[in-house]
Each structure stands twice: as structure tokens, then as C-alpha cells.
Chains A and B, each alone.
Chain A
Amino acid sequence: MTFSLFFQSLINGLNLGAIYALIALGYTMVYGIIRMINFAHGDFIMIGAYTLFYTIPMMVSAGMPAWLAVVVAVVVCGMVGILVETFAYRPVRKAGPMSALITALAMSIFLQNLAMVLFGSRPHNVSTIFSLPSVSVAGVTVSLNVVLTIAIGLVIMLGLQLFVKKTPLGKAMRAVPQDRDASTLMGINVNRIITVTFAIGSALAAVAALMYCTTYPRVTNDMGTTMGMKAFIAAVLGGIGVIPGAMLGGVLIGLIEVFVRLFAPGWYEAVTYGTLIVILLVKPSGILGRSTGEKV
């Protein structure tokens, strides 16, 4: 393997990894607060992508900058997240983790089929928001879109980490999973915190949709399933409930997929899913996971 191919693959892997990491963040935040795997999270990305698909041409024709579509997508995804949490997850919250999990699976299937009815089953091309050129560095073609994607991912992850560590709301978010009753006694509105967490997690899905569509400009009603699964594996690999873990897991899975495909294209999914099995056998709490302590 030549150096340029290696470097190119590194960039490709980081790009894919940044997308997985951002999706994994959505899983990890919700899991950190209410110990629930939101399997519908992948489908929030699908909703974000469809919002982009419809709003980008509207923005362009209205003479406004195309990136405003991202704001719309963030708002739409946040609203969907709040609605799903309020009407589907909150009623079953007391019934135990298994009920919540099954509700999440049902929600995923519901959203996919709703999208098929509303938008049809045909894939659509999403117009690009950023049409930055590619630059050649030492025989390697690097798309500036990819660099931007990685940068956006990094900024959001750092921002989220700061938000959770430094702000009062972030402190409340860390307090709720430690002891829900004690948090209530300390004046924290637990329901409100959970709703806010869902809103943030879903808004991240909209940004993930933007990043995904920059490299893979296509939206389908079932696009969330595979992506959600991969990101879930990334979250578990890095340590679910830990924000840096989601980033690490996402980047690792992205790199693994790209490099495995270089040598054995047919094997990359087997290796990805195999990684999950290995990590569960060796260190079930994930690479950065701790058995005790705070989690968000």
C-alpha cells in the first residue's frame, strides 16, 4: 500500500468516523440519563435528512443562504425528539427497561413506515450545502467538504463536553442518573431534564444528517437502520454513557470499516459486528467506560 492511499484512507476513515461519532453521541446522552437505548435515534437522522432535502431548495429559491436549512433541520429534529419522548417513552418509563426498549424499536419501525407513506420509497439526492473544492496534497485528493465535516464533528463534541461539565443544566443532567429521587429533592425537574436531553440528542441527529449528506448525498426512508446500528456499536465500543467514549468508538469503527474494505471488501460488516462481540466479551463497559462514577 502506497503512502498516498494510506493517507487517503485515513481521511476517509476519519470522515466516516466523525459521522458515526456524532450519531453515537445521541445514543450515549440518552443512555447516560435514563439508561435506555433509543433505537429510533437512527431514524431521527432520516427525518433530518428529509428536512434538508425539502428545505435546501426552498432556501435557495427564496434567496437565503443554504446553511439556514440546517437550522430548520435542527428545530424539526428537536421537536420530533421531544414529541417521541413525551408521547411514547414517558408513559412507559416506570414499566422498566425492557418496555422502554421495545417501545424504542416500535418507534423506529413506525417512523420508517411513516416516512415511506409521506415521502415515498424512492431515494432522493440531497443538494449539497457546502460546495467546497478538493485540494491535492502530496498526491492525495482531500475534499474540503470532508475536512469541514470532521471539524464540525469535533467542535460539537467539544461543545457538548463543556456544556455537560460546566453549565448548571449539564450538572443537573449528570445528577439525574446518579439518583433520581435525590435530584428531585434538590429541586431538579427530572422530566424537564430528560426532555432537554432528548431535544439535544435529536438536534445532534440533524447535524449528523448534514454531515452524512455532505459525503453521501442520498436520503431513503430506511437509511437510519444501518447507520444507527453502526453508531450503537461505536457507542458500546467506546463505553456507552461516556461522551469521549462515543467519539473514540465512532472514529475507531469508521477507520476499521474503511481499512478492512481496502483489503477484504466483503468482510467489513462482519468485522464491525465482530468488534462488538469482542468488546462485550473482553470489557463490557467499553474502552473508556468505568464500572462506577458519573455518566452522562
Chain B
Amino acid sequence: MKKRNQLLAAALTGALSLSLLAGCSSSAQQGGAAASGETSGSSTAASAAAASGEEDNVIRIGVIGPMTGGNAIYGEGAQNAVDMAVEEINSSGGPYTIEIVNGGELADDAQDARQAMNAYNLVMADDPEALVGSFFSSVTLPIAQQASVDNMLLVATGATNVDVTVDRPTVFRDCFIDPYQGKMAAMFVQSEGYTKVAVLYANDDDYSNGLKDAFIENCEANGIEVVYEGQCTTADTDFTSQVSQVVASGAEFLYYPCFQDTVPLLVSQARSAGFTGAIMGGDGWDSSDTTGLESQFENCYFTNHYSSEDTSDAVVNFVTKDTDTYGTESLNACASLYYDAIYMIYQAAQEGGGTDTASLVKGMTGMTFTGVGGTFTLDGNGDPEKQIVFNTFVDGQVQWFETLGPDGEVVAVRE
């Protein structure tokens, strides 16, 4: 008996040390980042002096993105798109060239708010003039906070949470914001004639909370009844409890504003629980893996930043080049946002008249830009008013449905 208890105690100690080990790995990386910060400390001083002294016509940009973790597919697309944009700009013979710091690589935030600061410190050690990233709201919020303190220009890509740019004059973004995306989803519900909706959101994620709040608020304002509001976390794999409650509530429509790594799980579990209504998500659904779930993904929709089926010149150019070089797998909206962000900074240098951070910020403020994401103007906060794309799934393939403008007007619709 006694020996047995000792063994159990040892086992539990082991379990504890496992979690400690997990903690260690991130602090080890932190140590590494700090160390690299120190070693480049002396060179930072030297290059800072050089940067303030002369104009070299090179825009040095640090890029941060999710290169590992469940959503590494976004980082992969972003890296390809950044490489492509830099290559295009540098070979165009324009007045400025672009250099991506950290050896041209995206700094990895691993979709983790703590890792985000390591990634930030990693790129800041190379003394960039502008930053691009990151894709996830929860990761971008701390980065935006620090960039604002450091007076560093930040162009956030997929971070749709409202607070990212508020009261931060050096922080901009090239994507729409959560209230807008939630509002458009509610508008879609109304136009399709659904009257009872259910919401399932990840309570540990800023993005998911933002979309949920906006969706519910707009649904209620439009007289649509929210019959079920359920929670999960971004790490969950089991949604059977929640989806059986959705079915029991009699909802005709389920809003699931979470990320693509759990979307196949949610959709397959909802369908096997007998839910036949529409399931919809936000831009986090982009690149969802539908392999083996083609029939379950029928009657599913998501809002997005752009559609690869769009026929505008910018989109056609981007899609053709990206798929020719890297294939279709990593062609996602995240890639298009990083691509646009690099071009926005390039345009800011031309409009601001220099490659130092102050000129770039001047160029960015109030900019009107045309790119893969359409034509838009940045408002006082640094947020764009953009068109939004509705997609659906046919045989497991994403199919463009319609594009709506900022006020809900139809910009383009599938013929």
C-alpha cells in the first residue's frame, strides 16, 4: 500500500514536471531571443546611426506570422506571398527596394500571445523601419501595444479585433474589423431568411469573442432570435455536448467564429448529431481541410477578405503567380493580406517621401490603396472600409458566392 502510494506520488510528480517542461521550452526560446538581442545590441547602435544619417532607399521590414502550430498553413502562405511581393517590387526598378529582416524569414509567433513578444524582439533586434503582422488578433494585440510604445510602424494583417489600432497612431491594418464581419454575417442570416440562430464561440480567443458579440448584437437588432449561445476553447476537439444542444434548441443556422484547425471537427460532429441547417464562420475558416467531409461541408459558408475566383487584375495576377510558384495549398486570404501589406508600405514610402519610420507612418495615414483586397481608404484609426467576400463549399471546394461592399451593397455576385 505504502509503496504503491509512493509510486503514484512519483507519477504525479512526473505529470507536474511534464507541464514544467512545457513551460521551460518557451522560456528557453525567450532566453534565446534575449541572447540574440544582446549580441546584436552593438550592431543595432551602429546601424541606427547609419539609418538616421543617410537615406539608403531600402525599406527594412520585419514580418511576424504563425509558422508553426495548428494554423501553420497561414504562415506558409504568408511567407510565400511576402517573398513574391518583395521579388516583384525589387525587380520593378522603382525608387525603393525592400529588405525583409531576420534573413527574409517570418518570425514565428506560433499563434501564442507569449511567443508573439519573442517574435517581436527577434525582428526588432535587426532594427527594421516597419513591421508587418501578425495574423491572429490575440497575438497581434500585445505586438501592437509594444509597437505603439516603441513608435514603430505596424501593419497588422489578419488581426480583426477592434482594439488593435485604437489610440495607436503608428498601427494600421489591411483587413476589416470584427464588428463589421459579425454584422455582415447577421445581414446574411436575414437575407437568407433564417429566424432562429445558434452561436458557438471560443471563449479563450479575442477574435472569436469579437465576432460573437457583433453577430448577436446585429441579429437581435434585426429581430432574429438567438436560441443558443455556447462556449468552447481553441484547444477543444470534442463539441458533441454543444452540437446536441444546438440541435435541441431548434436552430436553423449555426455561427462558429473560430479557426480552420477545428472547423472540420465541428462540422463533422454537428452533421452526425443531426444538424442539417447552415453553418457559417468568419475569415478564420479559410483553408479548412474538407478531405473526406465533402458532403458534411454542404450548406456551410464563411466570410473572407478576398476570393481567388475574383476577376480583378490584382487578384488574377496574385493568384496566377502564387499558384504557379507554390501550388494551391497555401493560397489563402492570409497570404493575400501579407502581400497587400508589403505593397502598402511600399506605397507609403512613395507618398511619405522616405524609408524612415516617420515618413512611412505619414504615408500610411489616410492612404487609399488598391490591391488584392480591393480598393479601400484607411480611416482615422487606421482601419480600412473594405468589401467582404462570402464563400460556400461545393464538393469540398471553396466556391465564391458573392461580394458585398461596406454598406451591404452587392459589389459582385456569382453568375
Chain A 1-24 near chain B by CB (<8 Å), digits 1 or 0: 010110011001001100000000
Closest beta carbon of chain B to A274's beta carbon, Å: 14
Closest beta carbon of chain A to B196's beta carbon, Å: 16
- Total interface residues in chain A, CB < 8 Å: 57
Per the bound structure, the CA–CA distance linking A66 and B8 in Å amounts to 41
Per the bound structure, the CA–CA distance linking A240 and B203 in Å amounts to 34
Please judge, given known A-B contacts A218-B265, A232-B15, whether A291 and B245 are in contact too, CB under 8 Å.
no
Q: Among B21, B241, B244, B272, find the residue whose CB has the most chain A CB atoms closer than 10 A.
A: B241
Per the bound structure, the CA–CA distance linking A101 and B9 in Å amounts to 11
Closest beta carbon of chain A to B346's beta carbon, Å: 31
Interchain CB contact under 8 A, A5 and B7: no
Q: Among A37, A136, A240, find the residue whose CB has the most chain B CB atoms closer than 10 A.
A: A37
| Chain A residues within an 8 Å CB radius of B13 | 101
* Cβ of A168 under 8 Å from chain B: no
Q: Which residue of B lies closest to A233 (CB)?
A: B15
| Chain B residues within an 8 Å CB radius of A145 | 272
| Chain A residues within an 8 Å CB radius of B289 | 123-125
Interchain CB contact under 8 A, B261 and A16: no
* Cβ of A215 under 8 Å from chain B: yes
Per the bound structure, the CA–CA distance linking A120 and B329 in Å amounts to 14
A contacts with B: majority SS: helix
- Total interface residues in chain B, CB < 8 Å: 47
Interchain CB contact under 8 A, A136 and B292: no
Interchain CB contact under 8 A, B10 and A215: no
Interchain CB contact under 8 A, B248 and A2: yes
* Cβ of B5 under 8 Å from chain A: yes
- A-contacting residues, B180-203, CB 8 Å: 203
Please judge, given known A-B contacts A105-B17, A122-B72, whether A265 and B274 are in contact too, CB under 8 Å.
no
Interchain CB contact under 8 A, B237 and A218: yes
* Cβ of B404 under 8 Å from chain A: no
Chain B 230-271 near chain A by CB (<8 Å), digits 1 or 0: 111101011011101101100000000000010011001100
| Chain B residues within an 8 Å CB radius of A275 | none
Please judge, given known A-B contacts A9-B244, A102-B14, A143-B272, whether A127 and B7 are in contact too, CB under 8 Å.
no
Please judge, given known A-B contacts A127-B292, A217-B268, A266-B231, whether A121 and B14 are in contact too, CB under 8 Å.
no
Per the bound structure, the CA–CA distance linking A234 and B343 in Å amounts to 54
* Cβ of B380 under 8 Å from chain A: no
| Chain B residues within an 8 Å CB radius of A15 | 240
Per the bound structure, the CA–CA distance linking A39 and B21 in Å amounts to 14
Per the bound structure, the CA–CA distance linking A97 and B10 in Å amounts to 8
Closest beta carbon of chain A to B383's beta carbon, Å: 31
Q: Which residue of A lies closest to B203 (CB)?
A: A266
* Cβ of A278 under 8 Å from chain B: no
Please judge, given known A-B contacts A5-B245, A217-B265, A265-B242, whether A284 and B17 are in contact too, CB under 8 Å.
no
* Cβ of B4 under 8 Å from chain A: yes
Please judge, given known A-B contacts A125-B291, A217-B293, whether A284 and B5 are in contact too, CB under 8 Å.
yes
Per the bound structure, the CA–CA distance linking A102 and B14 in Å amounts to 7
* Cβ of A93 under 8 Å from chain B: no
* Cβ of B273 under 8 Å from chain A: yes
Q: Which residue of B lies closest to A104 (CB)?
A: B14
Closest beta carbon of chain B to A197's beta carbon, Å: 17
- A-contacting residues, B1-25, CB 8 Å: 1, 4-5, 7-8, 10-15, 17-18, 21
Chain A 177-209 near chain B by CB (<8 Å), digits 1 or 0: 000000000000000000000000000000000
- The 8 Å CB contact of B230, one of A109, A216, A265, is A265
| Stretch from A68-76, A79-87, A155-163, A254-262 that touches the partner | A254-262
Per the bound structure, the CA–CA distance linking A123 and B292 in Å amounts to 14
Q: Which residue of B lies closest to A108 (CB)?
A: B18
| Chain B residues within an 8 Å CB radius of A102 | 14, 17
Interchain CB contact under 8 A, A16 and B14: no
Interchain CB contact under 8 A, B241 and A4: no
Q: Which residue of B lies closest to A146 (CB)?
A: B272
* Cβ of B70 under 8 Å from chain A: yes
Q: Among B14, B72, B235, B289, find the residue whose CB has the most chain A CB atoms closer than 10 A.
A: B14
- The 8 Å CB contact of B70, one of A109, A122, A229, A240, is A122
- The 8 Å CB contact of B69, one of A104, A121, A229, is A121
Closest beta carbon of chain B to A67's beta carbon, Å: 15
Per the bound structure, the CA–CA distance linking A8 and B243 in Å amounts to 10
- The 8 Å CB contact of A123, one of B17, B70, B233, B247, is B70
Per the bound structure, the CA–CA distance linking A134 and B264 in Å amounts to 18
- B-contacting residues, A6-64, CB 8 Å: 8-9, 12, 15-16, 35, 37, 39
Interchain CB contact under 8 A, B14 and A101: yes
Interchain CB contact under 8 A, B291 and A123: no
Closest beta carbon of chain A to B281's beta carbon, Å: 16
- A-contacting residues, B208-240, CB 8 Å: 230-233, 235, 237-238, 240
* Cβ of B57 under 8 Å from chain A: no
* Cβ of A114 under 8 Å from chain B: no
| Chain B residues within an 8 Å CB radius of A109 | 21
Q: Which residue of A lies closest to B248 (CB)?
A: A5
- A-contacting residues, B291-335, CB 8 Å: 291-293
Closest beta carbon of chain A to B156's beta carbon, Å: 23
| Chain A residues within an 8 Å CB radius of B8 | 236, 240, 280, 284
Per the bound structure, the CA–CA distance linking A134 and B70 in Å amounts to 30
Per the bound structure, the CA–CA distance linking A125 and B242 in Å amounts to 21
| Chain B residues within an 8 Å CB radius of A124 | 289, 291
8 closest A-B pairs by beta carbon, nearest first, are A141-B274, A261-B241, A12-B240, A265-B231, A127-B292, A291-B1, A8-B244, A143-B272
Interface pairs (30), CB distance under 8 Å = A12-B240, A12-B241, A16-B238, A35-B7, A37-B11, A97-B10, A98-B10, A101-B13, A102-B17, A105-B14, A109-B21, A121-B68, A123-B261, A123-B289, A125-B289, A127-B291, A127-B292, A141-B274, A215-B269, A216-B238, A216-B265, A217-B268, A218-B237, A232-B11, A240-B8, A265-B241, A266-B231, A266-B233, A280-B12, A291-B4
Q: Hey, which bits of chain B sit against chain A, CB under 8 A? A: 1, 4-5, 7-8, 10-15, 17-18, 21, 68-70, 72-73, 203, 230-233, 235, 237-238, 240-242, 244-245, 247-248, 261, 264-265, 268-269, 272-274, 289-293
- Known pairs A125-B291, A136-B274, A284-B5 / 7 extra A-B pairs, C-beta < 8 Å: A8-B247, A105-B17, A109-B21, A121-B68, A121-B69, A258-B241, A285-B4
